[in-house]
Structure 1
Amino acid sequence: MRERQIYLDHASTTPVDPEVLEAMLPYFTQYAGNPSSIHHAGRMALQALDDAREQVALVLGCTRREIVFTGGGSEGANLAVKGAALAQRARGKGAHVIVSAIEHHAVLHAAEYLAHDGFDVTVLPVNAAGLVEPEALAQALRPETILVSVMYANNEIGTIQPIAAIGALCRERGVLVHTDAVQAPGSLPLDVEALKVDLLSLTAHKCYGPKGAGLLYVRRGTPLLPQINGGAQERRRRAGTENVPGIVGLAAALTRAEERRISYAAQMHMLRERLIEGVLDRVPQSWLNGDRNQRLPNNANLGFAGVEGESILLLLDQVGIAASSGSACTSGSLEPSHVLVALGMSPDEANGSVRFSLGASNSREEIDYVLEVLPPMIERLRAVVPGYEPIAHG
């Protein structure tokens, strides 16, 4: 066991909050019934589901009937994109779908599936800061457009999209909007009416809840074709016995994240700025990926010329610092990040980037330690790069 452990990979996953775990525990043992059963144990489980649905509906500003519990963010995104598109095509409403170029692969691969099934899919570019421009979206909309999917905040570069403006534009055109809000809880408001979205997916394990539990908000009247067939659970929108402990944990985590959002975001913003400013000041030829201001308060995605992000991560891990080169879902891929490439970066620039995502356990002292060990690591790595010419700092 390393003496020092600094976890800066909260965008990949977060530890379960002890109070969330405490809320979950009885539903593994004492109240372990199937919520579809009519006996007492089943009714207790069903009551837990009902209570959880009320809790998350309160956070999202919707009705409980608009909540579908899922197995996580990827399932929710697939249900939203495929389910809404296929349902509308079946009704003869059109077959054109728009997704942004920096979506999570759950959305991009769902769009690819639709393309193979005969849909016309437009991948909408972003600007150099990673933002979708509503004007560009307006030009991409067509009479046959039935769905737009743009993530609320990017999991790699933290860029916050103008979802309310996108939602308003699409609502005027009668086009459904899905947003992947996986990274938003605890950092951004989640009121679905203010965001003007028809579908919103999120997961528990990004906000100090358990893995394997998520939800999809489905605005009343939104057509949706189930993607998992079986029983009549979730009002026939998602078959399968509900993960009661996970759903209880999801509701508890989401509620706590919303209650603490303002103070949490302020603390994360302070630590993030300390890290960004420290790195840019101490490491020559370093840069910040994504918009400086329109970004999640806990996200610092930094690029370093002349080195590979994976090498930096290995050295950081040796001194007890956990960070990431991008999405955990593409870990091990030799391809540069599609998000960074979409910003106009070269493969070398993209591969030289590291994502630091902060969380509730981090402190100023930990950030200062990162700033102490990171610059000499970069210098050491650059020293063995053929042809690299360092630039004098200052």
Structure 2
Amino acid sequence: MRDTSPTPPGTDLYHYHLQQSARQEQQQQGGGGDGGNPALNKPDNVGSQMYHEHIQREGRLEEQRRRERQGGGGADTFYQQPNVPIVPRPQLLRDEYHEYLHQSTRQQQQQQQGGSNDGGNPSPDDPVVTHMYHDHLHGERLREDTRRREQQGGSGGSRSTTILSPVKMPLELYHMHLSQSERIVWLLEEMEIPYELRVFYRDPVTALSPDELKALNPAGTAPYLRDTNVSPPVCLSESTAIAAYLLAVYGPQSESGTRLDRAPGDPDYAAYLEWFHYANGSLQASLFRQMSLTLATGDPEHTGVRRGLARLEAQLRLVDERLARTGAWLAGERLSAADCMAVFSLTTMRGFYPLDLAPYPNILRWLRDVADRPAYRRALKKGDGSMEPMIGSTVRKFTEFPGLKAVLERF
């Protein structure tokens, strides 16, 4: 038989629940008594921890029930009492929020017990309450970011928390002719961010970086970005880092508000992340390794070079198949920074390492689409002396550099 004795006033709800469970178990086993129940007047660390977890679970379930009754809302939404229309409410201070939790707990106890005792209410210093309070503040900050973003031109419905920063002073971009930094020039043109471009030229014999660029950037590479809109000024090298910085800090600056990144709520977010990092992490790394092997051996038919070429061709097939599936761009139906990051490897880089793209029709179609974009044409005009886009199945070799000529002519 189930024990239906009333809840003693003031008793800890969790301890009482354990007592009830113990009685039922003993009755089923043919026993009796209160053996095994935790003592109510002695500290019970395990019971306290389980009680806090119980309160936290109940709070989440109550939020879910309120959300269903009130017609939805995001995971970070702060809900009011049931059957009360949701209206804008001021941000609660810490003590006010604790009092709100106290009131909710009292009302639940009165509904369940028909009484008004305050037993089992969480303390204002309760770590569970503190955690819930911080969750509430985090949700308020996210909503404030969303409102600010919508006031500044919107993000196409994206749930990204990017905060757009105004460009008061043009960004400074240091670019080297015939190099990977053309990615950033194109990205800035697509984003319509004001910038000043300084162009460096390779050593006319070795095709390596000039001393002027090495003096400016300790890594001796391009691109190199300086942003004086922040204090202290930001200085960045590495094209992937620069692209990620521009997208995160400045977002869409054009009137169209077109985003070149993707937010977690976008269906192609995962694909965007993969192909954004694939450009430098796999594709360009494979091409550079092949070029280095060829230059080191001086023989395109060397066994090591041929093995590397087989791995590179596997990479190209992967890109071609991806573009065949999307029928448009690497991340999906819309242009993204992933395309800006990948284009150098399949265009200008082939002047240093000749590569025939005839077996990859989807890559060739993608390159034509890139070349049709006005922003890409502007980038080539500003950074590479109006060079024609290198989008054919084969392209010219950079034999104007004596240090490369002998090897390139063997292809």
Alignment TM-score, normalising by the size of structure 1: 0.30
Higher percent of residues as strand: 1
- Is the radius of gyration larger for structure 1 or structure 2? 2
Q: Higher relative contact order by CA 8 Å / sep ≥ 6: 1 or 2?
A: 1
Higher percent of residues as helix: 2
Alignment TM-score, normalising by the size of structure 2: 0.29
